[in-house]
Amino acid sequence: DAKTTQPTSMDCAEGRAANLPCNHSTISGNEYVYWYRQIHSQGPQYIIHGLKNNETNEMASLIITEDRKSSTLILPHATLRDTAVYYCIVRPGAAGNKLTFGGGTRVLVKP
Which one of residues 1, 2, 19, 32 is an interface residue with other proteins (CB under 8 A)?
Answer: 32
Residue numbers 65-84 binding other proteins by CB under 8 A: none
Name the amino acid, one letter, at 9.
S
Q: Does 88 bind other proteins (CB under 8 A)?
A: no
Q: Are 69 and 90 in contact (CB under 8 A)?
A: no
Binding segment for other proteins among 14-22, 41-49, 66-74, 76-84 (CB under 8 A)?
41-49
Q: Does 86 bind other proteins (CB under 8 A)?
A: no
- State the nearest-atom distance from the C-beta of 15 to other proteins, in Å: 28
Q: Does 21 bind other proteins (CB under 8 A)?
A: no
Transcribe 16-81 into DSSP letters.
S-EEEEEE-TT--TTEEEEEEEE-TTSPPEEEEEESSS-EE-SS-EEEE-TTSSEEEEEETT--GG
Q: Does 5 bind other proteins (CB under 8 A)?
A: no
